[in-house]
């Protein structure tokens, strides 16, 4: 259409009276100019995808239908689970005011987790977050992804600090270790992780395993199902601390803010000591399982977790966690009753890195998004000696802030960022 308009104007005003050679030269110039103009005008969908890629998003699928943007994004640039979605909406709204409605599908290792519905009326953003993802998934299914995350590597230097005050001859056993976590996405839902642990400052005795280099996490995990109601995942390899085996989780999103999980695994003890080197402890195979209820109360921002079953070393019991979310901070307390013994403590996850750590190259070196620590009283000798109430982590970044896909939590903070009440 644009080429035709240029040709009509030129033909009407300038072609009359020209010689044949001049007409050929003039026509060639017009066509070259028109082609240059057309090439400079990208479709709106392409422009939006380019903008999202420039901001650091990956695995981008997008399509603009009338005044609505449907997009799927993987965020490996912004801290937490809500900040990236808010940035994407804000940037696109500023650059393309003709887009009035946003349907943003959030993925984690290419698996859909939540969808954000956002629109602005009278200068105020209205935001809803839920798991009604089917329509957006269907629309985006045939769109070619842009900025694939497959194979890109993150190297995250994670500090580990442990203090144990159960000795009679000195105040604390302490150990400071560094654990570089190397992680990559292999395919949809698959994550490969390797995290060796190196001690460099401690007062531990010879033979205590934390004194020596350990494998830490070396796992291949796979998210198999992630839908409106169900989640299913599995992982195998070396877990932290010092276990090797397999683990599976089934999750049910029963109601808004209420989830149920069933975890099960089989592991054996694997560690490295000066006397024996690396090896597996004989007769250390153990089956553990936990049933868990997780409830998020949006008015108080309290996350309440109750779980019960068989812990790592064979004791049966229950654990209650109450965590208060302060934006990107999560601070909580817990209590355990198992094997006739009880224990209590506190835990926290606090932000470490910058709000944005963009992946500019194929390999990115970074610091963790969050630092998490759990303190245990372990006030009874039998509780400590028999290793009661213990579990393991299958991923280096397991805490209550990273990968926290709670709709009410994410909805509140996206809305607050867009409306200027949270930074």
In this predicted model, what pLDDT tens digit does every residue of 312-352 receive, in sequence order?
Answer: 989 999 999 999 999 999 999 999 999 889 999 999 999 98
- pLDDT digits over 278-320, tens only? 777 777 888 999 999 999 999 999 999 999 999 998 999 999 9
Does residue 153 belong to any structural domain of this protein? no
Say yes or no: 229 and 362 in one domain.
yes
Q: Is 366:155 a contact under the CB 8 Å cutoff?
A: yes
User: Do 18 and 81 share a domain, yes or no?
Assistant: no
Same domain for 112 and 14? no
Domain termination residue (choose one: 113, 148, 183): 148
Residue 29 has pLDDT above 60, yes or no: no
Give a yes or no: residue 168 inside a domain.
no
Residue 166 is predicted with a pLDDT of 64
92, 122: one domain: yes
Contacts of 121 (CB under 8 A, 6+ apart): none
Instruction: Quote the DSSP letter at residue 150.
Output: B
* Residue 26 shares a structural domain with residue 92: no
pLDDT at residue 255 above 90?
yes
What integer pLDDT is reported at residue 28 of this predicted model? 57
pLDDT, residue 274, reads: 58
Q: Name the residue range of residue 28's domain.
A: 2-39
216 phi and psi angles, rounded to 5 deg: 70, -130
Rounded alpha-carbon distances, angstroms, from residue 134 to 194, 210, 227, 311: 34, 47, 8, 37
User: Is there a domain that residue 265 lies in?
Assistant: yes
Classify residue 293 as exposed, middle or buried by CB count within 10 Å of its CB (0-12, 13-18, 19+): middle
Confidence of residue 158 (pLDDT cuts 50, 70, 90): confident
| Structural domain contains residue 303 | yes
Angstrom distance (rounded) from CA 367 to CA 205? 30
The number of domains in the chain is 3
Question: What's the rounded mean pLDDT across residues 148-152?
Answer: 93
pLDDT at 359: 87
36-45, 46-55, 262-271, 278-287: least confident range: 36-45
Query: Does residue 391 share a domain with residue 322?
Result: yes
Q: Where are the beta strands (DSSP E) in 274-328?
A: 277-280, 286-297, 302-310, 316-326
pLDDT at 273 over 80: no
- Under DSSP, the state recorded for 142 is T
Give the residue, 41 or 141, on which the prediction is more confident. 141
Cβ-based neighbours of 283, under 8 Å, separated by 6 or more:
none
In this structure, the chain runs to a length of: 423
Whole-angstrom distance, CA of residue 84 vs CA of residue 65:
22
Percentage above 70 pLDDT, the chain:
87
- Residue 162 is assigned to a structural domain of this protein: no
Average pLDDT value for the chain: 86
Q: What pLDDT, on the 0 to 100 scale, is given for residue 219? A: 95
Planar angle of CA 335, 316, 248, nearest 5 degrees: 95
The answer to the question of residue 173 being in a domain is no
CATH number at residue 75: 3.30.300
pLDDT at 10: 46
What pLDDT is attached to residue 288? 93
**294 and 325 belong to one structural domain:** yes
Same domain, 303 and 370: yes
Same domain, 34 and 62: no
Q: Is residue 367 part of a domain?
A: yes
Say yes or no to pLDDT of 207 above 80: no
Supply the pTM of this predicted model. Answer: 0.83
Same-domain status, 304 and 346: yes
What three-state secondary structure class fits 420? coil
Per-residue pLDDT at 3: 43
* 19 and 74 share one domain: no
Does one domain contain both 133 and 68? yes
Closest CA to 257 of 230, 294, 306: 294
pLDDT grade for 23, boundaries at 50, 70 and 90: low
pLDDT score of 37: 40
Question: Does residue 271 belong to any structural domain of this protein?
Answer: yes
Q: What one-character DSSP code corresponds to residue 352? A: -
């Amino acid at each position: 259409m644009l080429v035709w308009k240029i040709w009509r104007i030129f033909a009407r005003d300038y072609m009359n009276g020209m010689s044949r050679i001049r007409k050929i030269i003039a026509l060639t110039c017009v066509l070259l100019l028109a082609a240059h103009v057309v090439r400079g005008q990208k479709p709106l969908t392409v422009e939006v995808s380019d903008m999202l890629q420039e901001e650091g998003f990956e695995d981008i699928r997008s399509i603009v239908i009338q005044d609505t943007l449907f997009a799927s994004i993987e965020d490996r640039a912004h801290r937490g689970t809500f900040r990236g979605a808010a940035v994407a909406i804000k940037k696109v709204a500023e650059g393309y005011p003709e887009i009035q409605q946003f349907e943003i599908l959030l993925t984690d290792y290419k698996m859909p987790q939540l969808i954000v519905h956002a629109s602005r009326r009278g200068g105020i953003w209205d935001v809803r977050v839920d798991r009604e993802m089917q329509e957006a998934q269907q629309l985006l299914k045939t769109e070619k992804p842009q900025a694939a995350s497959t194979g890109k590597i993150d190297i995250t230097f994670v500090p580990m600090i442990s203090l144990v005050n159960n000795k009679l001859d000195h105040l604390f056993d302490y150990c400071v270790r560094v654990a570089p976590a190397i992680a990559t996405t292999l395919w949809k839902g698959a994550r490969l992780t390797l995290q060796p642990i190196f001690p460099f400052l401690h007062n531990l005795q010879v033979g205590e395993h934390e004194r020596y280099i350990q494998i830490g996490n070396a796992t291949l995990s796979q998210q198999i199902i992630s839908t409106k109601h169900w989640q299913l995942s599995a992982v195998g390899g070396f877990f932290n601390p010092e276990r090797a085996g397999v683990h599976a989780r089934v999750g049910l999103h029963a109601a808004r803010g209420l989830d149920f999980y069933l975890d099960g695994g089989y592991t054996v003890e694997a560690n490295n000591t000066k006397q024996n080197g690396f090896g597996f402890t004989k007769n250390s195979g153990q089956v553990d399982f936990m049933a868990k209820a997780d409830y998020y109360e949006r008015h108080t921002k309290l996350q309440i977790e109750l779980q019960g079953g068989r812990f790592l070393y064979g004791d049966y019991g229950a654990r209650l966690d109450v965590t208060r979310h302060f934006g990107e901070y999560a601070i909580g307390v817990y209590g355990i009753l198992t094997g006739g013994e009880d224990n209590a403590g506190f835990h926290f996850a606090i932000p470490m890195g910058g709000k944005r750590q963009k992946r500019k190259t194929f390999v990115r070196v970074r610091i963790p998004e969050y630092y998490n620590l759990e303190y245990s009283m372990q006030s009874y000798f039998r509780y400590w000696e028999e290793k009661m109430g213990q579990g393991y982590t299958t991923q280096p970044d397991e805490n209550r802030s990273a990968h926290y896909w709670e709709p009410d939590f994410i909805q509140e903070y996206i809305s607050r960022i867009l409306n200027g009440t949270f930074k």
